[in-house]
Structure 1
Amino acid sequence: MHSFLDAKHMAKALRQALAERGQNISHSDALELVARQYGFANWNMLAARIEAAQLKPLELPSGWHVASGTNERNYRLGIDPQTPGTALIESRPDRDAVIDRAGGETAVLMQSILADPYRGGRLRLTAELRTETAETATLWMRVDPVQGRYLHFDNLMQRPGGPLVGTAGWTERHVVLAVPEAAATIRYGFFLRGSGKVWARRFALEVVGPDVATTEPSPRYLSRPTNLDFGDGQPAA
C-alpha cells in the first residue's frame, strides 16, 4: 500500500497511465496532482512533509526530557549531532505547512530535580543560547510546591533583551529564583516557540547569596486604589 513517501513514484505512474490514454502532462503537474490527493495545497508542502518524515529523531541528553505538551511531530529535540556538548531544538521542515503559526506552539527540553538541598536559598541558572530564524527562544526556571501553582517562575519573556528572536550568536542568559521552604521540585531548561532553531550549551545551576537579586518579574501592584471613576486620562472634550 502506498503512502505519501511514495509520491514521486506515484506521480511517475500517473503520468505514464495518462499518456497511455493520450493525455500528456508534465512531471511537475503530476506531482501537484499527487500532492492534492494527499490533502496538500501544492507539491512543495508535500515535499517538506516527506523531508521531515525522513529526518531521524535526535538523541536525548542523559538526565533531560521533553516536556509534556511538546509535539514531536513538529519538532526535533536533543543533542546536535554536528556539535557535541550542544543541545538543539528545531522545528521540522514541514511545520509551517501543517501548523497555524499563530497557535504559539512551543517545544521544551528540560530537567526536573528535587528542591531539598536548596530550600531557604537562591539559585542561579545560567546557559548560552544561539538561534537561527527563531520566532522566540529562551531559558527558563520554575520552583514548584508539592501541589498547587508554582511558587516562583521566570522565562525572561518580560525582561527587555531577554528572549532571543531571529538569528543570534552565542548569548549568555541567566535566571535567579528564591527557593522557599515549601518548595518540592525545581524545573528548568530552554524552549523554542514557533519555528526556527535554538541551540543551548554550558548550563550551570549554582547557589547564590541573598545579595544576588532575583530576576522574577515583580507583581504590578498599585500602592493605593487609583482612578476608580475612570476620570483620569480621558481625552479633552
Structure 2
Amino acid sequence: MHSFLDSKHMAKALRQALAERGQEISHSDALELVARQYGFANWNMLAARIEAAQLAPLELPPGWHVAGHTNEGNYRLGIDPKAPGTALIESRPDRDQAIDRAAGETAVLMQSILADPYRGSRLRLTAELRSEAAETATLWMRVDPAEGRYLHFDNLLQRPGGPLAGTLGWTERQIVLDVPETAATIHYGFFLRGSGKAWARRFALHPVGVDVATTEPGPRYLSRPTNLDFGGEQPVA
C-alpha cells in the first residue's frame, strides 16, 4: 500500500496512465493531483510534510536522556546539528496534528545526578533558552528523596515571565531550590509543551548562599478563613 512518502512515484504513474489514454499532463500537475488526494491544498505543503517525516533522529548529548513519557514519534530531541553546543527539542511538522494538546503533551530532555555533593545546600540552575513558534518552553528542576514524592520542584510555569512562548531570542532563566539532607537525586533540564521548537544552552548548576531566595512556588494557604461571603474582605496580616 502506498503512503504519502511515495507521492513522486504515484505522480509519475498517474501521468503515464493518463498519457496511455491520450491525456497529457505535466509532472507538476500530476504532483498537485496527488497532493489533493492526500488532503493537501498543494504540492508544496505535501513536500514539506514528506521532508519532515524523513528527518533523522537527533544525537543525544552524552549524560542527557529523554524523559520516559516523551512520545518520540511526535518530537525530535538532541543536539542541534546546525548549532554545536546547543540542545534542541522540536515537534515534527508531520505530527503536529497528532500532538495531544488537551493532555498537555510534553517532550523533555533531562539529566539526573546524585544529590550527595549538594545535601544541605541551596542550588541554582541557570540556562539560556530560545523558542520558535513554541506553545510553551521552559527550564525545570526537581529534588527527590530515595522514596516517595519529590521534595522540591519548579518549572517556572507559575512565575510571570517564566516560560517562553511564541518566538523569542536567547533568554536566561534560573531556578533556585533547597537540597535537604534527605535528598537522594536531582533532576533538571528543559521541555517543550505542544508544538514548535525550543533550544537550550549554557546549563550551569552551582550552590548559592541562603541570601539567594528560592524560586519554588510557596504553599497557597491563608492564615485564617477569609472573604467567605465574597464581599471583598481582605486577610489580616
TM-score by length of 1: 0.86
Q: Distance in 1 between matches of 2:118 and 2:213?
A: 16
Q: Distance in 2 between matches of 1:72 and 1:212?
A: 37
Deviations 1:97-133 (A, max 9, x none): 4335444221111000111111111110001111112
Give the paired residue count: 229
Letter in 1 for 2:181: E
Q: 1:210 to 1:46 in 2, by over 3 A?
A: same
Deviation at 1:48, TM superposition (A): 4.0
**2: distance between equivalents of 1:80 and 1:30?**
33
Distance 1:15 1:99, change over 3 A: farther
Given the alignment, which residue of 30, 37, 62 partners 2:34?
Answer: 30
Does the Cα contact within 8 Å between 1:8 and 1:31 map onto a contact in 2?
Answer: no
Secondary structure of 1:215's counterpart equals coil
- What's the offset of the Cα at 1:147? 1.8
Q: Does the aligned pair in 1 maintain the 2:35–2:46 contact within 8 Å?
A: no
Match of 1:63 in 2: 63
User: In 1, Cα distance between the equivalents of 2:99 and 2:198?
Assistant: 19
Bigger shift: residues 127-136 or 40-49: 40-49
Structure 1: unaligned runs, 5 residues or longer: none
1:4 equivalent in alignment to 2:4: yes
Match of 1:206 in 2: 206
Kept in 1: contact 2:35–2:41 (CA 8 A): no
Aligned-partner SS, 2:50: helix
Matches of 1:52 and 1:95 in 2, distance apart? Answer: 9
Sequence identity of aligned pairs in percent?
Answer: 81
Unaligned runs of 5+ in 2: 233-237
Structure-to-structure mapping, 1:78-89, within 5 angstroms: 78-89=78-89
Equivalent pair of 1:11/1:31 in contact (CA under 8 Å): no
Alpha-carbon separation, structure 1, partners of 2:230 and 2:208: 46
1:63-119 deviation digits (Å, cap 9, x = unpaired): 000111111122111111111111111111223243354442211110001111111
Aligned residue runs from structure 1 range 115-130, under 5 A: 115-130=115-130
Question: Are 2:132 and 2:166, in contact at CA under 8 Å, matched by a contact in 1?
Answer: yes
Query: Could you tell me whether the CA contact under 8 Å between 1:131 and 1:198 is conserved in 2?
Result: yes
Q: Does 1:155 align with 2:159?
A: no
Could you say if the C-alpha distance between residues 14 and 200 of structure 1 is closer, same or farther in structure 2, counting changes exceeding 3 Å?
Answer: same
Cα distance in 2, alignment partners of residues 68 and 208 from structure 1: 31
Q: Normalized against structure 2, the TM-score is what?
A: 0.86
